[in-house]
Amino acid sequence: MDIQGLSLASTVLSNANVQSSVGMAMLNKAMDTQEANGEALASMLERSVNPMVGQNIDIRI
C-alpha cells in the first residue's frame, strides 16, 4: 500500500467516525424527545380521567 492509500484509508475512517458520532447524537436527541412526549401523554391521560379534580372547592357552612 502506498502513501496515498494510507492517507485515503485514514480519511475514510475519520469520516466514518464523525458520521457515527453524529448518528449517535441524533439518536440520543430523538430518545430524549420521545421520553418527553411520553411523559406529556401520560400527564394528559391522567387529567382526562378526572378533568374537574382540583379545579373547584365546594364549601358549605
Measured between alpha carbons, how far is 23 from 50 in angstroms, rounded to an integer?
Answer: 42
User: In total, how many domains does the chain have?
Assistant: 1
Q: Is 36 within a domain?
A: yes
Q: Is 22 within a domain?
A: yes
pLDDT value of residue 30: 97
pLDDT value of residue 46: 81
Q: Is 11 within a domain?
A: no
**What is this structure's pTM?**
0.58
What is the residue range of 34's domain? 16-41
Q: Is 25 within a domain?
A: yes
Torsion sign over Cα 13, 17, 19, 23: positive
pLDDT digits (tens, 9 = 90+) for 3-59: 778 888 888 999 999 999 999 999 999 999 999 999 999 988 887 776 666 677 777
Q: Is 7 within a domain?
A: no
Q: Is 10 within a domain?
A: no
Q: Is 5 within a domain?
A: no
